């Protein structure tokens, strides 16, 4: 059963940390350190870091490294971000892959800061063959999660086995936990402020985390999940705009005509009434089937798109293409999950966007979404409809028109 008092097992390591790494020591003040018999070594849940019996038996330098590891889990908001990812992705979310991504980033950071960790140690180098400042600045937990999820092999079993061989053990829980007074967790804004102050203190000392903090790509920052961006774009694209009704006079014209008749003046110019169009909005989702986009990302994107289209009562078409259109179906708002599961997805070959835009030009669409790596011939002129390019490699190529959306977060 957890002791609600401050951890005695971690006291010596935390005191030593204040001399060796001012940034981590400052961040530790915002964590809750608890001794626990429910964990063998050490684990994190929300802001709580639990220290088990095996932690007390470790050498001091390994205790310091492990404390720093879990302080970073809390400061980088890995438990709360884990809960947010689980809510976003639903049953597709793999909590173990998320923890592997977080541990690789945190361990690489702790080692770069000059601390020690028990061996073997899971790092970015052991996972991806990348190490040093460039690796730390390249990856955040969300991007690395999607990379590992998409390339982890059948059921991601080989990746998980590789991580376990490198020393990975799950040590995160999305649960927030509460202290004896029932205080809740700090929000994202609080943690960004704490991180900024801690990094400033660390840089002034030139020790530990402060010496590399500016290169850490996983620092918490506000961002909008691409699903929310997509939902907002779809709502705007499918918004039914009022159109003129030639046989119905506008109320303003009726008032002006009445005044003109009463004063024996000329009739005002005709103004038709505006009415909302009756046809449903029509959306087209074009899937690049060249095999360069991870299939798990496409599945989540299609599920979110179908869900939004169903709520908006929109007619949603799905087009599978490479150098030409291979399949074209209308997404059923009731059986969309089964429809997408049975949708043939050819792999390989090149990409040509021109047949898709030619097909879109023949229909009255409210918007066009393309899931692609942006590698292929594009039309030279923008179509007369909103276009959204959704890419897992956003930034490599800039499309000549439309909005570009990254699927990496």
**Which helix H or strand E contains 284, and what residues bound it?**
strand 282-288
What tokens were used for 105? Answer: 């980033």
Number of alpha carbons in the 13 Å side-chain half-sphere of residue 353: 23
pLDDT for res 311: 64
pLDDT at residue 346, as a whole number:
72
Domain match, 303 and 270 both: no
- Euclidean distance between the first and the last CA atom of the chain, given in angstroms as a whole number: 37
For the record, the structure tokens of 255 come out as 């008032």
**Model pLDDT, residue 72:** 93
Same domain as 134, residue 254: no
Residues 205 and 256 in one domain: no
Q: What is the pLDDT of residue 183?
A: 37
- Residues in the chain, how many? 409
Report which of residues 274 and 279 the model is more confident about.
274
Output the CA–CA distances (angstroms, integers) from residue 373 to 40, 179, 234, 292, 328, in the order listed. 45, 47, 21, 7, 20
Residue 3 lies in a domain: no
Same domain, 265 and 292: no
For residue 241, is it within any domain? no
Mean pLDDT of 229-250: 72
Q: Which domain holds residue 189?
A: 11-222
Q: Answer whether 66's CB lies under 8 Å from 9's CB.
A: no
Q: Find out whether 231 and 308 touch, Cβ atoms under 8 Å.
A: yes
- Strand 32-35's sheet: what is its strand order? 32-35, 48-51, 42-45, 172-173
Distance CA 41, CA 56 (A): 8
Task: Answer yes or no: is pLDDT of 383 > 70.
Answer: yes
Q: What was the pLDDT predicted at 276? A: 63
Answer with the one of 187, 222, 257 that is the final residue of a domain: 222
- State the number of CA atoms in the 13 A half-sphere of 35 facing the CB: 11
CA distance 346 to 295: 11
Predicted confidence (pLDDT) per residue in 80-134, tens digit: 888 888 877 778 889 999 999 999 999 999 998 999 999 999 999 888 887 767 7
Q: Of 375, 367, 380, nearest to 392 (Cα)?
A: 375
Q: What average pLDDT score do residues 356-370 get?
A: 89
Same-domain status, 267 and 383: no
Task: Please identify which residue in the block is written with the tokens 């293409």.
Answer: 321
Classify each residue of 54-63 as buried b or exposed e, where b means 16 or more C-beta atoms within 10 Å of its C-beta.
Answer: ebbebeeebb
Same domain as 297, residue 216: no
Q: Is residue 312 domain-shared with residue 343, that is, in the same domain?
A: yes
* 293 in the same domain as 267: no
Nearest-angstrom CA–CA distance, 250 and 269 = 11
CB 401 within 8 A of CB 368: no
C-alpha span between 36 and 295 (Å, rounded): 41
Quick one: average pLDDT of 353-357?
93
DSSP 155: G
- Would you state the pLDDT for residue 242? 67
How many domains is the chain built from?
3
- Same domain (yes/no): 124, 182: yes
Cα 34 from Cα 102, distance rounded (Å): 22
Q: Which of 49-53, 105-109, 190-194 has the lowest mean pLDDT?
A: 190-194
Q: What is the pLDDT of residue 177?
A: 43
Evaluate whether residue 234 is within a structural domain: no
Take residue 63 and report the two structure tokens written for it.
């205790």
183 or 227, greater pLDDT: 227
Would 2 be classed as within a structural domain? no
**Three-class DSSP category at 63:** helix
Q: How far apart are CA 336 and CA 334, in angstroms?
A: 6
Q: What is the mean pLDDT of residues 138-150?
A: 86
What is the average pLDDT across 345-353?
78
Rounded distance, CA 230 to CA 283, Å? 12
Q: How far apart (Å, rounded) are the C-alpha atoms in residues 214 and 175?
A: 29
Residue 319: give its domain's CATH number: 3.40.50.410
Prior bond to 38 cis, omega within 30? no
Average pLDDT over the chain, rounded to whole?
81
185 shares a domain with 80: yes
Q: How far apart are CA 113 and CA 196, in angstroms?
A: 17
User: Helix 141-151 and helix 78-89: axis angle, to 10°?
Assistant: 50
Q: Report residue 298 as tokens.
A: 């496409």
201 within a domain of the structure (yes/no): yes
Residue 229 in domain: no
What's the CA gap between 409 and 406, in Å, rounded? 7
Q: Quick one: residue 75, left, alpha or beta (phi over 0 = left, psi -120 to 50 = alpha)?
A: alpha
If you search the block for the tokens 């040093």, which residue do you land on?
A: 132
In a domain, 99, yes or no: yes
Does pLDDT of 176 surpass 70? no
Q: Which two tokens mark 338?
A: 């089964």
Angstrom distance (rounded) from CA 65 to CA 71: 10
| Shared-domain flag, residues 190 and 265 | no
Say yes or no: 205 and 266 in one domain: no
* Residue 228 placed within a domain: no
């Amino acid at each position: 059963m957890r002791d609600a008092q401050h951890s005695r097992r971690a006291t010596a390591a935390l005191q030593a940390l204040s001399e060796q790494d001012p940034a981590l020591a400052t961040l530790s003040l915002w964590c809750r350190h608890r001794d626990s018999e429910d964990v063998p070594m050490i684990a994190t849940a929300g802001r709580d870091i639990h220290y088990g019996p095996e932690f007390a038996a470790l050498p001091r330098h390994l205790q310091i490294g492990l404390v720093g590891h879990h302080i970073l889990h809390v400061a980088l908001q890995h438990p709360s971000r884990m809960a947010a990812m689980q809510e976003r992705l639903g049953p597709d979310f793999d909590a173990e892959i998320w923890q592997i991504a977080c541990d690789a980033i945190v361990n690489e950071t702790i080692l770069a800061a000059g601390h020690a960790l028990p061996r073997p140690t899971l790092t970015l180098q052991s996972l991806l063959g990348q190490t040093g400042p460039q690796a730390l600045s390249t990856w955040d937990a969300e991007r690395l999660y999607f990379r590992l999820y998409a390339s982890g092999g059948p059921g991601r079993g080989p990746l998980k086995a590789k991580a376990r061989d490198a020393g990975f053990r799950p040590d995160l829980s999305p649960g927030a936990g509460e202290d004896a007074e029932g205080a809740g967790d700090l929000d994202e804004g609080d943690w960004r402020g704490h991180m900024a102050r801690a990094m400033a203190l660390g840089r002034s000392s030139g020790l530990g985390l402060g010496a590399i903090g500016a290169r850490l790509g996983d620092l918490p920052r506000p961002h909008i999940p691409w699903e929310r961006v997509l939902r907002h774009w779809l709502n705007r694209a499918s918004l039914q705009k009022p159109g003129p009704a030639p046989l119905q006079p506008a109320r303003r014209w009726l008032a002006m005509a009445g005044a003109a008749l009463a004063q024996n003046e000329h009739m005002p110019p005709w103004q038709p009434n505006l009415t909302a169009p009756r046809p449903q909005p029509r959306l087209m989702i074009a899937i690049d089937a060249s095999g360069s986009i991870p299939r798990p990302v496409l599945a989540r994107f299609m599920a979110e798109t179908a869900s939004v289209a169903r709520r908006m009562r929109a007619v949603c078409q799905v087009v599978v293409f490479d150098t030409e259109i291979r399949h074209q179906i209308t997404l059923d708002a009731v059986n969309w999950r089964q429809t997408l599961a049975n949708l043939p997805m050819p792999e390989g070959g090149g990409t040509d966007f021109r047949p898709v835009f030619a097909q879109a030009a023949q229909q009255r669409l409210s918007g066009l979404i393309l899931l692609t790596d942006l590698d292929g011939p594009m039309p030279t002129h923008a179509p007369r409809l909103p276009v959204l390019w959704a890419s897992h490699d956003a930034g490599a190529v800039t499309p000549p028109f439309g909005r570009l959306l990254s699927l990496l977060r």
